[in-house]
Structure 1
Amino acid sequence: MQENYLYEYAVIRLVPKVEREEFINIGIILFSKQARFIKMLYVLPEEKLCWFAHDLDKEMLEATLQSFEKICKGEEEGGAIASLEIPERFRWLTAVRSSCLQTSRPHPGFSTDLELTLARLFKELVL
């Protein structure tokens, strides 16, 4: 029988103009302390970016998202945050920010297949 893992996820949001509080869901971060799992998926949908963020620096946004990914993976290029334990990395990635890249509050759930759950949440909440 497969183990049922408690997980938390947060939606990654692009907030092109912070003062307007409009956003586009562009990714998901999913974390499970019990399974020692943290992973993110993201996409930069060109059509939606044109609607909200036509003057956005896409290269800088992509670089920031890649930094988030390096932190998730615990890669040395992710800096000091990437060397933290998985729960601390998730908390740092989902901390409240007033920048153009933000996350939702974390939401909990249970899953026997975290990869499948990540893909499902990505499809439902981002795509």
Structure 2
Amino acid sequence: MTDKLPYSYTLLRYVHDVLTGEFVNVGVVVFAPSGGQVRFKVRRTMGRLKGVFPDLDRAAFMSAMASTRRALQQIAKREQDAGMFSSLVNAGDIARRALPLDSSSLQWSDCGTGVTKDLDATLDRIFERFVARYDTHARDRKTDEDVWRPVRQRLEERDLAQCLQEKSIQGGLDAIFFKHAWKNGKWHVYEPLSFDLVDADGIKSKAREWLGHLSAVVADGRAEDFKPHFIVGAPSDPSLHDAYRTAIAILERAPNGPEVFEEGELDALVTQIEDEVRAHRQSH
């Protein structure tokens, strides 16, 4: 009978915005105290990251991953030499020595535990489950621009696209830039939001971010009068539907009474714009 080894593991997360907390897993460290066995695997490619965070600085990210990899290699060698005399308790201890906790974009998760007969196979399984599983689907995820494209096409068909312009809404504390807006007494601003993200936390965090933006702009009452309209794209993963509905509810509770249009309601949105533009033209 082969003895099973107790082990612990921790995930390395890339946190794109520490304020919203939206993250993607980018590595795994596994540690079996018996014999001081350390195994790790971290990203060597961008994978789905560029699709999820289009403004990610690739060079800076790859440099940070290389530094983390080198630090883990040194600690793994040290623990192998120490063997049963290792003073470290779990994978979190290993991880924090390689990359201490701070406010940077690379953060460690809480530890998980288990038992295994094959530590290398366990490392591969955890990496596949938490890091690599979405890579093949990243290119298929809708972006904000993908959500807006059919709106623009409908507007062009009705000769309305030229009515929209860029607008920055300035408040005392913050400002929001909108690519699509027009004025009819007050500014009507339109923002496409794709919620075709990788997990529920990311979906809700994106909605909370917009709730925060709008709240900051109107906080002191100095912003121009404006009406927000969100055009939202649903996640492709059916299991994230509840998070998507929660995100919509968060947007609807934002200041200035936003209207939220889903992808099946685009004709209604464009008809509303057409009616308002026609009425505005007739009144002038």
In 2: Cα distance, 1:28 partner to 1:101 partner: 12
In 2: Cα distance, 1:10 partner to 1:71 partner: 18
In 1: Cα distance, 2:72 partner to 2:62 partner: 15
Which residue of structure 2 aligns with residue 54 of structure 1?
56
AA at the equivalent of 1:70: Q
Checking the alignment, whether the CA contact within 8 Å between 1:72 and 1:89 is kept in structure 2 is no
How is 1:20-39 mapped onto 2 (pairs within 5 angstroms)?
20-39=20-39
In 1: Cα distance, 2:31 partner to 2:87 partner: 8
The alignment status of 1:93 with 2:95, answered yes or no, reads yes
How is 1:112-127 mapped onto 2 (pairs within 5 angstroms)?
112-127=117-132
Checking the alignment, whether the CA contact within 8 Å between 1:13 and 1:23 is kept in structure 2 is yes
Q: What SS does structure 2 have at the residue aligned with 1:119?
A: helix
Checking the alignment, whether the CA contact within 8 Å between 2:11 and 2:29 is kept in structure 1 is yes
Can you give the 5+ residue segments of structure 1 that lack an aligned partner in the other structure?
A: 76-84
**What is the aligned residue count?**
119
In 1: Cα distance, 2:87 partner to 2:11 partner: 17
The alignment status of 1:69 with 2:72, answered yes or no, reads yes
Answer with 1 or 2: which has the greater Rg. 2
In 2: Cα distance, 1:92 partner to 1:30 partner: 9
TM-score when normalising by structure 2: 0.37
Q: Which has the higher contact order (CA 8 A, sep 6+)?
A: 1
Farther-moved stretch of structure 1 (23-32 vs 52-61): 52-61
Q: What SS does structure 1 have at the residue aligned with 2:19?
A: helix
Alignment equivalent of 2:109, drawn from 101, 104, 116: 104
Which residue of structure 2 aligns with residue 13 of structure 1?
13
Q: What SS does structure 1 have at the residue aligned with 2:31?
A: strand
Q: What SS does structure 2 have at the residue aligned with 1:117?
A: helix
TM-score when normalising by structure 1: 0.77
In 2: Cα distance, 1:88 partner to 1:67 partner: 21
Farther-moved stretch of structure 1 (42-51 vs 32-41): 42-51
In 2: Cα distance, 1:89 partner to 1:34 partner: 11
AA at the equivalent of 1:104: S
Higher helix share: 2
Checking the alignment, whether the CA contact within 8 Å between 2:5 and 2:116 is kept in structure 1 is yes
Can you give the 5+ residue segments of structure 2 that lack an aligned partner in the other structure?
A: 79-85, 133-284
In 2: Cα distance, 1:87 partner to 1:119 partner: 23
Percentage of pairs with the same residue = 24
